[in-house]
Structure 1
Amino acid sequence: MKHPAYSQLRPVTANAGVVLAPNPSYAALEGTNSWVLRGEGDSVSVVVDPGPQDEGHLNVLWSKATGPDEGNPANIAVVLLTHRHHDHAGGAHRFRQISGVQVRAFDKQYCYGGAEPLQDGEIISFEGLTPTIEVVHTPGHTADSVSFFIHSQGGTDDSDVEAIITGDTIAGRHTTMISETDGDLGAYLDTLATLRDRGSNVPLLPGHGPDQPNTAEIAQRYIDRRERRLEQVKQALAELGEDADVSEIVDYIYTDVDPVLRDAAAQSTRVTLRFLQKK
């Protein structure tokens, strides 16, 4: 089954499948990937990023996460959020009402049902669930962004990591915007280095777009792109002067930018300037 596949559970790895939310846009690509973690024959499942508040999608997701696997239904143990943005977490409260389970996030204000916030380095496991889930704080896109390393055999090192769920930290196609409120380019570059170093030949399960076979390769591509952009901004400042405004820098760098993308280019430039000013 090729991506996209709305209203279906598409198996991706041995213990992870995806239900694609019907919210396509330039930023969300084909839509938000809602991940269901569950091994063959497992009586328990975990949902990652229920997506936007779309009643149809949330009910389909609940059905797929609890539905028969070789005749064995499952109970959802918990809902996990990669970060707070509405296209990933907007439906979390409603999904809790549908499923009755807790919702956990890195930021406590996005936890529901009395759940404790996620902790960096925490290992999440449940009886009846084959994979264990390692929480890795990966800030940059937002301050609360986390990635989930899916361990197929309950390991404590990377030898049994079968996939990495990255939310918006790395997308399956195109690039990722950094939040101007609590995003940080320096933290993002550190995060990408971590994913590169730990993700060699490990499948990437992104928040948007198709899954990819090698997280490290995509992370390095992201690093290279950000470093090229940094050099372009430095060059623009050298040519235009240190007091050049964002609009002038965008005109200098993005000579053929689509007008629809100009606001995104300006945001990226402001984030880059903020990073350079800290150095």
Structure 2
Amino acid sequence: MRARPWPPSAAKAKACCAATYGSEVMAVLLGDSYHPGGLALTRRLADRLDLRAGERVLDVASGRGRTALTLAAEYAVDITGMDLSDANVALATDAAQSAGLADRVRFEVGDAERLPVDAGSFDAVVCECAFCTFPDKPTAAAELARVLRPGGRLGITDVTVNPDRLPPELTGLGAWIACIADARPVDEYVALLTDAGLQVTRTERHDTTIAAMIDQIEARLAVVRMTARARAEALGVDFARGPVVLAAARAAVADRVLGYALLTAVKPR
């Protein structure tokens, strides 16, 4: 298996993620929802978790709050968003106030590997397109399990890879698509959650959603080049290599080397 190309320290990896996904460049590249499948897949995840009005939900790596606000508005849950980026938390808090949802949605700065909440605090936890970026995945999985009450449910959507077949163009990517760097096969995610004491109840492949995101990035890259090139390059976007990287990613999806999955699990009573 190839060495995983994360930065040399966990602290640097986390700082990289926080800076990248808290930036305006990522908003331009990825739109309102920073994950494949957008809100349609978020709603599917919520339905698979059977979210009910009044339940307490934790959104880990909540970004700018799109998922949390959607779940609060459409499923009437009480939700806390946790994100490593101060900028994301500030923007998400403003969005909750503007939407009139501040009574049921709150956002806090927090690390997925050391969640600042009590054990057994939540009926459900969601984590979209972020578990793959956590440097210490066993610790993060244990934290997700810890904060669930007995019988609580976990829902994850995330990038999947076959690391032994990943083309070289996708092993040294800039920050704008770095979530590929430490993604795992579905069975490794299942093993991580199982080792944390959770019972995996469902896995679904949604590879077409990542193919659609590749198309979206390709279409928006030209906009970033014109409107925010300096900032994008500071974050690691290489405009010269962009077409090569996107072509490699598209081929990897077609070959089922790169994909996207939905997983649900439950904490035993």
TM-score above 0.5, yes or no:
no
Range of TM-score over shorter length = 0.3 to 0.5
Greater radius of gyration (CA): 1
What TM-score does the superposition give when structure 1 sets the normalisation length? 0.34
Higher helix share: 2
Using CA pairs below 8 Å that are at least 6 residues apart, which structure has the higher relative contact order? 2
